[in-house]
Amino acid sequence: MVTIWHNPRCSKSRQTLNLLEENGQEVEVFKYLDEDLDAGLLEDVLGKLGISARELLRKGESAYKELGLKDTSKSDSELIEAMLSHPKLIERPIVINGDVAALGRPPESVLKILD
């Protein structure tokens, strides 16, 4: 089973979920905007994605500008705390398959982590 960090209002997230289902995947939907997130979970996902916290930020969100997240002196811990406080800052969708994960941008990019 794969897990998708899903925002139903996001077209890329909906397209990625549909793509997974069309490929016969059993999918657990994690609505990350509504669920409790903690730093350990976010750090685990970053490790599976193989990217930094900065690379997971949605730079077009108003909170990005309001919180001054463009400042490159901010640590990964500070960026993770910002994402926990403002989950809309987390790039989506994220698909997790065991020890690996991929961003669904474009949706087809998640196919590389499927069995």
Residues marked active site are found at 10
Rounded to whole angstroms, the Cα distance separating 23 from 26 reads 9
Residue with tokens 């939907």: 29
* 3-class state of residue 67 by DSSP: coil
Token pair for 40: 């350990």
Nearest to 97 by CA among 16, 33, 12: 16
The single residue listed with the structure tokens 């289902």 is: 21
Sign of the dihedral through C-alpha 43, 48, 52, 56: negative
